[in-house]
Every structure is written in C-alpha cells, then in structure tokens.
Homo-oligomer: A and B are copies of this chain.
C-alpha cells in the first residue's frame, strides 16, 4: 500500500487559462509539456497543507494485461514513461500520478472493450480529455490506466438546418468552433483552454465559460450523449433532437460527473448561429450597488444582445496596470477609434468628473445579428446609465483589436496576480447581491495579514473569483481564509465550485454546498453505475466516511 501526497491548495495558483492569456486562444496540446515561452511565467508554488490519499485495493497491471491492450490497440497502448509524463501530471503540475499505461482508443467499441476488461480485472481507469482541468480531475493519482479520448476526434454529423452537431468526445473545442464557424454557427461554449480541451471533457466537467450568460449551460445545449459504462455497456442517447420526453434524462447524470460514472464517447450539441456584430463597453462605477443596478438596467435595455457582463474592482485594475503595464482606458482618456458610425465617439465622460480611478469596472459585451441595431441599443443604454449617474466613465469598442484590448483588462487579471506573490484563489457561485460582500468581509476579516484581497468575475452568472495574495506562502493566512471562505459561502447559499468541478481537490469540501442526503445519493448512484469503483477513483465523491 502506497500513500501519496498532493498539494490540496496548490491548484489555486491559476484560476483559468482564459484569464491567464492575452488572447482567448490558449494552446496546450496533449503530450507536449508547457514550454516557458508558450504559456505564462509560472509563479512560485504556494503549497501548504497536504492531504493524504490511500491507494484503494485495485489490481495492478500485469504483463498479461499489457499484452491484452497491445493486441486490442496496436501501437495505441503506450508505456513509454516519457510519453506518459504529460498525461500523468495536470496542467498546474499540482497532481502527479504514476500510471504506466496510456490507452488511445479510436472507437466506442474499443472503449467498451477496455472498460469491460478493466472492470472484470478490477483495474482502475482515469478518463482523460485535453487534461486542462484545474481541480486534479483528469490525471491519475496512483497507477490508474489513462484512457485518452485524443483519437476519438471525428465529427459525425452537422445539420445546417437545426444547428445540431454530433461528434466524438475527443474533438478539440477550437477545432469544432472552426468547423461550425465555417457554416456560420458557433459552439454554445467558449473557454480559455479551447485550443486543447476536448468536448467530452467539457461535458464531463460541465464547463461554464464565456458564453454561458447568453447560451445557457451545457445541461440545456447538450442534446445527447454516448457513454460507456464501467462494465462496458454502451448507453446511447445521441439522437440529435431538441425535444425528447421519454423517461429519465440519463445523459444528465454524466454531465459534470467528471468521468466517475461513465466515459463520454460522443456528444450531440445544439449550436447557435454566429452573431455578425460584437460590441464592448468598459465602464467605471462608484459603488457595487451601482454595478448591480447597471446590470439590471442592462438586462432590460440590451436584452437579447447581451452576451457578457463581467466586473473587476479597482485593486484588480491596479494589478494589471502595475504588473502588466496595461492602461486603464477610462483614466487615460484614450480614444478608441471604431470602424462604424453610431458609436464613433467612444469616450463617455461625465463633464465634471475628475480623471480618477473608479472603485469598480464593468465589461459589457453585446453580440447580435445587426451591428447598427446593437450599437444603437448600447448607445441608448450608455446614455441612460450616464444620465442617471449609475456609471461615472466609460469607453466602447466595436473593432476587433480594440475589443481584445479591453477584454485583456479582464482576462489578464490572473496573470497579474501571479506577479503579486503567493495567490490563494477561490471560484465561488453566489446569489448576485452578495457577490462582492464576500470580498469586503474577507478584507475586514484578514486586515493587514493579506497583501491584496481582490474580486472579479462573471457577474452576469453570479460567479465570483476571490483572490488573496501575500508576499510568500503564509500558513497562518491560509488558516484565516479557510474554512472561513467556505462557511461564508455556505451561509449565503452559494456554491464552493461555480464552474471547475470537484475533481481530487475540492471533493472533501463539497459538504459546504451539498446536504448529507445529496451526498448519500451521489454515492448510491456511483455504486449503482460503477460497483467496483474503477472509474476515476479519488475524484468528485467525498470520502465515504463523511457521508455516512
């Protein structure tokens, strides 16, 4: 029996790839380690308390097993430790397994045969997509066999009338985006990690991302799944239909279950039409209640064209200015010149306001089918918020390069934070009216112990990214943050994981968000679908003792 240790909180070093990059495309292909020049400069580790996990009594890989898989998948049952390295460690390098076998099936039937064999033998399996997860859900913890979806990468069908795409699970999100984009559609989800992540992994983790406000969650846009169960049974609900009311919607069990109930092998998903116009407004607000009031007005006046409503506080702005030398477009009074008419003058400055920092900034994106209409709607909205003093200052862009420059102020906050020292990061879902109160309470709670306590996130989705920095790792500070942050979240009926899932790292905090009967039922469903527990062990489900 071996015991390994993993950094239970080290995951916090990065929040999400999208926030760590100057553009929304971030490439990290499987089997290629991050070269320093390609990704971000990586901050020093802030490892703190470690948790021990004991290996469960699964079988260990025998020569006979290796022979079986070599025969089943000639040239696709990989054992070279160097090849396995990239699959044994997560992108954050916070969890490292010691798998000796990486399987790359091409068909559902091969996945079925792999699982039937592993289930019979009692061999544990970790399904792996693009390995871009942030909670240690996609890598082995011990010697689990890695089942990669990388070669399950075929588009099966695309219906240009309904916009329904059906594809294998290993298709890379960006490749799918390009594919449907050529036919004037978009994928209903977009992530910073889209250059690497697999659609099957997106489904397995119920990925949120940048388009959730507009197109809703995967639970509504995923129309069908093909899943292989632990015993090899293929559960096919791939029918490309918008409506199907024939009994229990079994596919929902697998969305967000992080590979613990079955391996997703194919996905049917509804793609919206590509919007022909995009506008961005970057606004300053004096108070958080004004941010909320602006959001409310925005939902009414921009209605169907609103596609993002993000916020950051002045501390975040200061970080991107100080560490990344980005310019506050409002304070600097920089004029963005756009390509079209209605909003050609883009600085909206209240006549008498000084050139001061705003305590809060809002980023509003519209996406629609008519540039002129969207600009007019946005113009009217901006007139209203300026007239009513909800917003102090603002700037607007309709040109692609300017839009990217404004998005960078929001997306590069995580990168800026890594230059600020050791970062403790939390990804929380809260009722929107409480979303910033947690930041203020944490500031008061920590006082001078923290270097910075900042908040930003997807306000439109009620998703707060709370970040706390200190010059170096500080166990006393961490002890002051946790479990305070989880207790606060639970008290306000929030969720301790808004979009990242539980994986290995958060599973034992889940009781802060889910009551005991729900946790018991989760375990019952796990036992029903995977009685031998071979599928992605040590993930998602809390230790049994905590649910008994």
Residues of A within 8 A of B (CB): 159-164, 184, 205-206, 208, 212, 216-217, 219-221, 229, 233-237, 239-250, 252-253, 255-257, 261, 273, 275-276, 292, 295-296, 299-305, 367-370, 373, 376-377, 429-433, 458, 461-463, 493-502, 506-507, 510, 513-515, 517-519, 521-522, 524-525, 528-529, 540-541
Copies of this chain present in the complex amount to 2
A309 CB to nearest B CB, Å: 11
Task: Find A242's partner among B164, B212, B299, B500 (CB 8 Å cutoff).
Answer: B212
- Complex alpha-carbon distance, A219 and B216, angstroms: 10
- Complex alpha-carbon distance, A34 and B238, angstroms: 41
In the bound complex, do residue B241 and residue A248 qualify as a contact, i.e. CB atoms below 8 Å apart? no
User: Are A247 and B540 also in contact (CB < 8 A) when A163-B299, A233-B517 are?
Assistant: yes
Chain B residue numbers with a CB within 8 Å of A521 are 235, 248, 250, 529
Task: Find A300's partner among B184, B206, B239, B301 (CB 8 Å cutoff).
Answer: B184
Known: A184-B300, A243-B458, A370-B377. 13 other contacts (CB 8 A): A234-B517, A239-B494, A241-B462, A242-B462, A242-B463, A243-B499, A245-B498, A247-B257, A249-B255, A276-B303, A300-B369, A304-B305, A525-B525
- Complex alpha-carbon distance, A540 and B256, angstroms: 25
In the bound complex, do residue A246 and residue B514 qualify as a contact, i.e. CB atoms below 8 Å apart? yes
In the bound complex, do residue B162 and residue A432 qualify as a contact, i.e. CB atoms below 8 Å apart? yes
- Complex alpha-carbon distance, A253 and B528, angstroms: 14
**Least CB separation from A229: chain B residue:** B517
- Complex alpha-carbon distance, A522 and B528, angstroms: 11
User: Are A296 and B246 also in contact (CB < 8 A) when A275-B303, A304-B304, A370-B377 are?
Assistant: no
- Complex alpha-carbon distance, A191 and B357, angstroms: 49
In the bound complex, do residue B517 and residue A244 qualify as a contact, i.e. CB atoms below 8 Å apart? no
Chain A to chain B: the 9 pairs with minimum beta-carbon distance, closest first: A220-B220, A303-B369, A252-B252, A304-B304, A244-B495, A243-B498, A373-B373, A216-B220, A246-B513
